[in-house]
């Protein structure tokens, strides 16, 4: 069993922050030799707002690293079996990329999400707001415009 750090030190904190900036998950980092358990780190976060802010920033930066990982995975040359691309490996890579992209959309929806917000209206207080994909936004706007013409 790996030795767990029980003492909070600047070096351990920096390893956590650097790992998160690089796109490594907290639980993965905490499985490394000399690192505390993830529950211990969450206790530290709850007790120290400055450390919590540093970890939040590191995670935000780490989302870009994860996006780059997805690009590296999809841009890599697939292995070949008897001169042909291995379809099983292609599907495995696709699953890796899809998982990363879905997590990025959840963790940082403003940057990696697919929803858009559109406001329409003539005066303050008359605007309606919708969040959906672009096709739904266009359909909603068209429906509102048709309804407005009928009322006129």
Q: For the segment 85-140, what is each residue's pLDDT rounded down to a tens digit?
A: 888 888 999 999 999 999 999 988 888 888 766 666 656 666 555 566 777 777 77
Q: At what angle do helices 49-75 and 10-21 cross, to 10 degrees?
A: 40
Note the pTM of the prediction, 2 decimals.
Answer: 0.66
Q: Among 57, 16, 21, 56, which residue's Cα sits nearest to residue 35?
A: 16
pLDDT per position as a tens digit, 30-88: 999 999 999 999 999 999 999 999 999 999 999 999 999 999 999 988 888 888 988 88
pLDDT per position as a tens digit, 18-32: 999 999 999 999 999
Who's near 85: CB < 8 A, 6+ residues apart? 78, 79
At 124 the three-state DSSP class reads coil
Rounded CA gap, 4 and 61, in Å? 26
Rounded CA gap, 147 and 100, in Å? 41
Q: Among 126, 127, 129, 125, which residue's Cα sits nearest to residue 115?
A: 129
Rounded CA gap, 108 and 70, in Å? 15
pLDDT of residue 113: 87
């Amino acid at each position: 069993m790996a030795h767990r750090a029980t003492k909070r030190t600047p070096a351990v904190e920096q390893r956590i922050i650097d790992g998160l900036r690089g796109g490594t998950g907290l639980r993965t980092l905490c499985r490394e030799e000399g690192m505390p358990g993830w529950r211990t780190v969450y206790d530290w976060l709850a007790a120290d707002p400055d450390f919590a802010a540093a970890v939040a920033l590191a995670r935000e930066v780490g989302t870009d690293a994860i996006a780059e990982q997805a690009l590296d995975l999809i841009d890599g040359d697939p292995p070949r079996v008897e001169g042909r691309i291995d379809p099983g490996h292609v599907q495995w890579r696709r699953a890796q990329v899809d998982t990363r992209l879905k997590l990025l959309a959840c963790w940082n929806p403003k940057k990696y999400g697919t929803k858009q917000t559109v406001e329409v209206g003539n005066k303050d207080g008359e605007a309606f707001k919708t969040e959906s994909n672009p096709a739904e936004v266009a359909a909603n706007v068209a429906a509102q415009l048709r309804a407005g013409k009928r009322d006129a």
